[in-house]
Amino acid sequence: MALYLSPDGGVLLCNKKTESVLGLKQAEIIGKHWLELLFKDKSKAINKNMFKAVMDECTTYKREKDFVCQINQRLISWSINPVLDKNSQVEAVALFGQDITAIKERESSIKNIDDSLKNIFSGIKEYALYVINLDGNITYLGMGAETMFGWSKKEIIFKHAGLLHNITTEYPDLEFILKQVRLLGRYETETELITKNREVIPVILTVNQFLDAGGNLSGYVFIAKDITERRKLEFQIFQSEKLAALGQLSAGMAHEINNPLFVISGRLEMLKDENCNQKVKTSLDLISSQTDRIRKLVDRILKFSRKAAPVLEMLDINEVIETVLPLIHYNKLPSAKIEVKKSFEKNMPKIKGDQHQLQEVFLNLLTNAYQSMPDGGVIKVTTANFQNLYAQIQIIDTGIGIPTHHLKNIFMPFFSTKNEGIGLGLSICHNIIKNHNGFIELASQVNQGSTFTIKLPFV
């Protein structure tokens, strides 16, 4: 649209497009004041000022935002252009209008897509996107990256990407990754990234070339997928497999030990009936008691390795725990006062399980809790319905806790942080819970206490 105005704002001329948009004949348009014609409804004052500015300063005025009018549902963006005479005085004003209806519609639909993408991405917690330039500095921190790394855009933009990469890992380092991307165009690897709080996140990292308009390499696009959960699962499987293999080995060994042990203890019993002097008798008794010790150890190992299928029956897990609670008092108790607090889910669905095996698990865990509190404390035993899928049992103590570096070994056979016992209790628990298709986890902090969480599936 184009209109030609006199310095006082009256329309002198207009083109055909103006006629069609306004729905008026040229004769009806000419002579009218432009503001009356185009800005009937709003912001006359502002536009008047613009017009005045154009007249005074002889400059083109084009500010889309301020200078858009709606005519018959079309959005028109205007520019005011002074037409100068020989003396550089404003002789007239040319008004050019551009129909921006379609552009605006497109912009708003793009914004909608943008918004929904933002929503989609902010809902995805395990992905992070960031871009670095050729110097390795971070130039863009995308969706999820702030959440994953704990850095805000402000803090980390233009810092080196090395900040996010764990240099102590055995996985490929940043330099190697970038080299591969330059060679192959794209590289994917498992690695570890670091958060602002120096926490290590295992990720699958996909790195692509970032090309400028001319097709030249101008940086690298990183997409990191958090695989913490997967790692956890893998570790559990690995742990189970390792335990199973150890179980087999132990069973084989125990069996081999049993035969000679049987012969030794049998012969010993026979010798005891013989007449011999006191010195020999004392020695025989000692050998006998030590042999007995070996037999008990082998028994314990056999118990650990035995893959006894649970004898399943419908159980109320609260009742199972109740039967065990009185028993812990028979254990060697520290003299300090220990309080047991119960909090049971009243409407717990039943589970299918082996009562004796589960009793053994709870007895073991409660005994551990007791022994971890030489100075007294509180044991909390709770049961809860976990998402209608599992009966969740927690045994929480306020004891000495277990150092982080021991946590990963805690279910391994023969691993013990205590002086007494041979370190099979928890691996037996692990086996039993696994045979029940359940899960057992330990969270612990030194001097804060330990929490065992067991989940057993409902039927």
- Residue 284, judged by CB atoms within 10 A of its CB (0-12, 13-18, 19+), counts as middle
CB within 8 A of 25, min separation 6: which ones?
Answer: 19
Q: What angle do CA 408, 414, 420 make, to 5 degrees?
A: 110
* Minimal distance, residue 295 CB to other proteins, in Å: 6
* Minimal distance, residue 313 CB to other proteins, in Å: 15
Residue 17 touches other proteins, criterion: CB under 8 A: no
DSSP assignment of 177-244 equals HHHHHHHHSEEEEEEEEE-TT--EEEEEEEEEEEE-TTS-EEEEEEEEEE-HHHHHHHHHHHHHHHHH
**Out of 246, 261, 271, 315, the residue judged to bind other proteins by CB under 8 A:** 261
CB within 8 A of 443, min separation 6: which ones?
Answer: 450, 451, 453
Distance CA 322, CA 334 (A): 22
Number of residues in contact with other proteins under rule CB under 8 A: 25
Site string for other proteins, 288-307 (x = CB under 8 A): ----x--x--xx--xx--xx
Residue whose tokens read 């871009």: 131
Residues 56, 58, 62, 63, CA torsion sign: negative
* Minimal distance, residue 354 CB to other proteins, in Å: 11
Residue 259 touches other proteins, criterion: CB under 8 A: yes
Residue 263 touches other proteins, criterion: CB under 8 A: yes
Q: State which amino acid sits at residue 63.
A: R
Long-range contacts of 205-209 (CB under 8 A, 24+ apart): 205/177, 207/177, 207/178, 207/180, 207/181, 208/181, 209/181, 209/182, 209/185
Q: Looking at beta carbons only, is 310 or 457 nearer to other proteins?
A: 310
Q: Looking at beta carbons only, is 111 or 306 nearer to other proteins?
A: 306
Residue 287 touches other proteins, criterion: CB under 8 A: no
Residue 249 touches other proteins, criterion: CB under 8 A: no
Residue 258 touches other proteins, criterion: CB under 8 A: yes
Distance CA 129, CA 205 (A): 10
Residue 312 touches other proteins, criterion: CB under 8 A: no
Residues 135, 136, 141, 146, CA torsion sign: negative
Q: Looking at beta carbons only, is 268 or 340 nearer to other proteins?
A: 268
* Minimal distance, residue 456 CB to other proteins, in Å: 21
C-alpha pair distances (Å), 366 with each of 395, 397, 417, 451: 7, 9, 16, 11
* Minimal distance, residue 128 CB to other proteins, in Å: 50
Residues 117, 118, 124, 130, CA torsion sign: positive
Residue 179: both structure tokens together: 């080299």
* Minimal distance, residue 270 CB to other proteins, in Å: 7
Residue whose tokens read 């959440």: 147
Residue 111 touches other proteins, criterion: CB under 8 A: no
Q: Looking at beta carbons only, is 244 or 268 nearer to other proteins?
A: 268
Q: Looking at beta carbons only, is 125 or 255 nearer to other proteins?
A: 255
Distance CA 201, CA 148 (A): 9
Q: Looking at beta carbons only, is 219 or 413 nearer to other proteins?
A: 413
* Minimal distance, residue 302 CB to other proteins, in Å: 5
**Out of 41, 309, 335, 420, the residue judged to bind other proteins by CB under 8 A:** 309
Q: Looking at beta carbons only, is 1 or 298 nearer to other proteins?
A: 298
Residue 355 touches other proteins, criterion: CB under 8 A: no
Q: Looking at beta carbons only, is 229 or 299 nearer to other proteins?
A: 299
Distance CA 60, CA 177 (A): 53
367's enclosing H/E stretch is: helix 355-371
Residue 251 touches other proteins, criterion: CB under 8 A: yes
**Out of 40, 44, 242, 255, the residue judged to bind other proteins by CB under 8 A:** 255
28: Cα separation from own chain's centroid: 68
**Out of 113, 308, 333, 336, the residue judged to bind other proteins by CB under 8 A:** 308
* Minimal distance, residue 257 CB to other proteins, in Å: 9
Distance CA 184, CA 151 (A): 30
Residue 413: closest CA among 247, 199, 179: 247
Piece of the chain touching other proteins by CB under 8 A; list 36-44, 181-189, 265-273, 403-411:
265-273
Residue 266 touches other proteins, criterion: CB under 8 A: yes
Q: Looking at beta carbons only, is 242 or 255 nearer to other proteins?
A: 255
* Minimal distance, residue 374 CB to other proteins, in Å: 34
**Out of 36, 107, 269, 319, the residue judged to bind other proteins by CB under 8 A:** 269
The binding site for other proteins (CB under 8 A) comprises 251, 254-255, 258-263, 265-270, 292, 295, 298-299, 302-303, 306-309
